[in-house]
A and B are shown apart, each in its own frame.
Chain A
């Protein structure tokens, strides 16, 4: 179990508004990730973090920013939401002992 809680689970927002998705882990895992899932694309990495204040871009990072001020929280921000960012967003963490990645339950975002 990932011990991950994502919030909000569902959100509808208007084009041009800022949106922040929160990922909270009860474990103390160093690595955390944000993926988006769209039909026909599988899951694609947006940003990831390898420690507090240590983040890096993934393959689809344009239009997104992240922050990690505490080990347990990893925030994903859409500065100005666009319809192309309508998607399901999954947070994940990495269990270093098992070297496996576990996903949270997802956040459904609709930009209208």
Chain B
């Protein structure tokens, strides 16, 4: 089955700097890659996703890139702000098989002001 590895497990950046979180997946048939943000005690919230027919997607300060050949995808946050501090999870799935998400272990992002 699918296995997703996520790095780093913790990341501290200065406010205004960029943050990059990387994930690798094992199943070459996976075709959907969402990113979730989770604040303490809250539900995971979808922040951006990408399908396998796209190499990059941007939404304001957030971008995701996908390299299907290498089987890895990354989340990029620019101009980080204190409210970006949270746990971020990547996931992978096959849309045609019930979209059962397999998650990475998460990255704790701390933005220092």
Contacts and interface: CB of A to CB of B under 8 A. Distances in A.
A58 B100 contact: yes
Contacts of B45: 103
A68 interface: no
Contact of A48 (B44, B98, B102): B98
Interface in A71-104: 90, 94, 99-104
Most A C-beta atoms less than 10 A away, residue of B6, B42, B44, B89? B44
Contacts, number: 51
A45 B43 contact: no
Interface string A25-50: 00000010100000011111100101
Interface residues of B, number: 24
Contacts of A59: 1, 102
In the A-B complex, the 10 residue pairs with the smallest Cβ-Cβ separation, listed nearest first, are A42-B103, A103-B43, A43-B103, A42-B105, A103-B44, A105-B43, A42-B106, A42-B104, A42-B89, A45-B100
Interface of A: 31, 33, 40-45, 48, 50, 56, 58-59, 90, 94, 99-106
Interface of B: 1, 4, 6, 32, 34, 36, 42-46, 49, 89, 91, 95, 98-106
28 contacts: A31-B98, A33-B101, A42-B4, A42-B103, A43-B44, A43-B89, A44-B103, A48-B100, A58-B100, A90-B43, A90-B44, A99-B32, A99-B95, A99-B99, A100-B34, A100-B49, A101-B34, A101-B46, A101-B99, A101-B101, A102-B46, A103-B36, A103-B43, A103-B44, A103-B45, A104-B43, A105-B42, A105-B43
